[in-house]
Amino acid sequence: MRNQTTQSLIPLKRFSSTTEKPTILIVQASFLTPNVYKSLRDCLEALGYSTVHPNLSVGREAAPEELSYIYRQARGLPGGVIRLFYFRAFIFAEGQSVVGVFGESTREDIRIRRSAAYRCIPSTYLISDNDKAALLQLQEKFAANAGATVDRCAAGHSVMLNHPAILASKIAAVADEAMRSIEPKP
């Protein structure tokens, strides 16, 4: 079974105004390249979001605590990641690994670090109800492991390929809500 994790991080590129749309950082699945996400990037950009998509894989720390909005604000620093958006994501409990959960892996055995981004940054997990590769129970478990807010769609496993506009609208809705959550209260 493949370990395919995708997360979209929603950082602020600048904290001068919360009326500006945030930049969307895409971290692709461990077996995929950024090219697979071109349609998603195009859809997000058509909605007015800037996107950043470095060639990172899931084993790296895409959003350490030092990049979180809360951490940065507490130290008087601008910007920061305000929300994580997972889809097709394998999110294991502390110390678990692909081999430990599934008994096999075609990649090096990747373990969750103690500094997993979802521990310090709020997250949303999109469950694809028609995914035949990752069963609903498994997706629900991954969402629970991250303590994520759950959203759903009727797409299959490759939502970024088959329904990029739906995925972009889901990410945009979460990004907009995240921005509202940090707006100064009157």
What pLDDT, in 10s, does the model give residues 91-104? 877 667 667 777 76
Calpha distance 1→96 (Å, rounded): 16
Nearest to 51 by CA among 85, 77, 90: 85
Type of residue numbered 63: A
> What's the pLDDT score for residue 94?
67
175 in Cβ contact with 125 (< 8 Å): no
What pLDDT, in 10s, does the model give residues 80-93? 889 999 998 888 77
Rounded to two decimals, what is the model's pTM?
A: 0.80
The domains of the chain, with CATH numbers, are 6-182 (3.40.50.1820)
Question: Over 50: is that where the pLDDT of 5 sits?
Answer: no
